[in-house]
Amino acid sequence: SFGRPAMAQQSAPPVAGAVRIQSNECWTGPFSEGVAAAAMLAKEGNRYEPNGEHAKLFAAVAEVEGIPEDHILAWPGSSDPLNRVVVTFCSPEKGLVTGNPSYEQSWRTSQWLGVPLERVPLTAAYAHDPKAMLAANPNAGLYYVCSPNNPTGTITPLEDIVWLAENKPKDSVLVVDEAYIHFADVPSAAKLAATRDDVIVLRTFSKLFGMAGMRLGLTFASPALHERMMRYDGGQVTNMLPMTAVACGTECLKQTAKIAARKAELTSVRAQTLAHLDARGVKYIPGSQANMFMADWGTLGTPKEIQAKFLEQGVQIGRSWDAMPTMSRITVGSAEDMQKFALALDKILMA
Ligand code: PLP
């Protein structure tokens, strides 16, 4: 691996042939309409923008979300804008405040930049605690709320998010990461981003839409905030996107019935999986509205040991977080994946 920097792996790399329930991917790929649109666009891959693909995507998003098109930008996933908000709005003087446990990427970016980081424990209901977040740093550059939260899948009520927007200093920015919102039964903060000039919502097609490897994400924010995020590449962010992904996302967004069916499938498989844990007396964090949950092994073994035992049986589960050291994150895969997970669990418990 000459000249290749060590990758900051979020999860262990995939193991060939294993049930992949370690990194919150969707168990299946994009809807067939999206795949067909991507195949068409591949034929026109010589053009930067064959038929106004961005405009079509923004029109589709505006329609679904009820927000103005000039408040929408597209990105190769949501990781890039998540890094950018830290780079843009934080500094050694302007800190970052997040929940704990939560998605760690902004932590890593803040540490690299020398930005003061406050990680504020979730509430007893596993929601973000906006009052404690504001108290932890009343003058932060950025407040980051992940809802549904990774790794717990739990929700922060919109009224608490609104409270934080209204009570933080005007010149700090609130980012609401809604990577998993399509699986949830709660309202989005999209309208907040559409009506205020200090709130950014992050979205991705990597989860319900099954496009993690195709790469497509969105931000909702005022044009002025977007302009600040794009300063270092001269506003040319859109040229980083493959048109195949843009066209695929546009078509997938329109599949209202399929979106509802995929969400219902996830909800049902998650409920069956949690019922199995209940039956076996294995504890977990309740209230997940996403394609993941935290299983608590108690004294059964450390998360690393349990992870290795699952892997011996061809099931690759996720890792632990330092705030929840006896637990592992489990992604909810297909019904078949989760049957294999349940069988492997039973063997581990009986050993
Ligand atoms: N935000 C959250 C909460 C995530 O869990 C992830 C991926 O797992 C991302 C952002 C970034 O994913 P992507 O760049 O694929 O959109």
Quote the ligand 1 centre to 205 CA distance (angstroms).
9
Res 6: pLDDT: 44
Quote the ligand 1 centre to 70 CA distance (angstroms).
23
Quote the ligand 1 centre to 346 CA distance (angstroms).
31
Atom of ligand 1 nearest to the CA of 205: 16
Fold of 19-29+256-350: Aspartate Aminotransferase, domain 1 (3.90.1150)
> pLDDT tens digit string along 21-30?
999 999 999 9
H or E element at residue 204: strand 199-204
Residue whose C-alpha is closest to residue 72's, from 219, 183, 214 = 219
Phi, psi of 14 (to 5 degrees): -60, 140
344 in ligand 1 pocket by Cβ < 6 Å? no
Atom of ligand 1 nearest to the CA of 206: 15
Q: Give 113's contacts (C-beta < 8 A, 6+ positions apart).
A: 86, 87, 90, 91, 92
179 in ligand 1 pocket by Cβ < 6 Å? yes
Res 233: pLDDT: 67
Res 238: pLDDT: 56
* Nearest residue (CA) to ligand 1, atom 6: 179
Least confident interval from 8-12, 123-127, 303-307: 8-12
H or E element at residue 350: helix 335-350
Q: What angle do CA 335, 76, 288 make, to 5 degrees?
A: 35
* Nearest residue (CA) to ligand 1, atom 11: 79
- Mean pLDDT in residue range 113-129: 97
Is 32-253 assigned to CATH 3.20.20.140? Answer: no
> pLDDT tens digit string along 171-226?
999 999 999 999 999 999 999 999 999 999 999 999 999 999 999 999 999 999 99
Atom of ligand 1 nearest to the CA of 180: 3
Quote the ligand 1 centre to 84 CA distance (angstroms).
14
DSSP notation for 262-307 = HHHHHHHHHHHHHHHHHHHT-EE-S---SSEEEEE-TTS--HHHHH
What does the domain layout of the chain look like in residue ranges? 19-29+256-350, 32-253
204 in ligand 1 pocket by Cβ < 6 Å? yes
Give ipTM to 2 decimals: 0.99
Q: Does 57 or 1 have the greater pLDDT score?
A: 57
295 in ligand 1 pocket by Cβ < 6 Å? no
In 9-124, alpha helices (H): 32-43, 53-65, 79-89, 105-113
DSSP annotation of 328 reads E
Res 9: pLDDT: 45
DSSP notation for 134-186 = HHH-TT-SEEEEESSPTTT-----HHHHHHHHHHS-TTSEEEEE-TTGGG-SS
31 in ligand 1 pocket by Cβ < 6 Å? no
102 in ligand 1 pocket by Cβ < 6 Å? no
Residue 217, classed as helix, strand or coil, is: strand
Quote the ligand 1 centre to 299 CA distance (angstroms).
31
Report whether 110 contacts 119 (CB < 8 A): no
Taking 3-state DSSP, the helix, strand and coil percentages for the chain, each rounded to the nearest 5, stand at 45, 15, 40
Residue whose C-alpha is closest to residue 24's, from 76, 79, 97 = 79
Quote the ligand 1 centre to 206 CA distance (angstroms).
7
Q: What is the pTM of this model?
A: 0.96
pLDDT greater than 80 at residue 2: no
Quote the ligand 1 centre to 284 CA distance (angstroms).
22
Quote the ligand 1 centre to 17 CA distance (angstroms).
24
DSSP annotation of 12 reads P
pLDDT mean across residues, the chain: 94
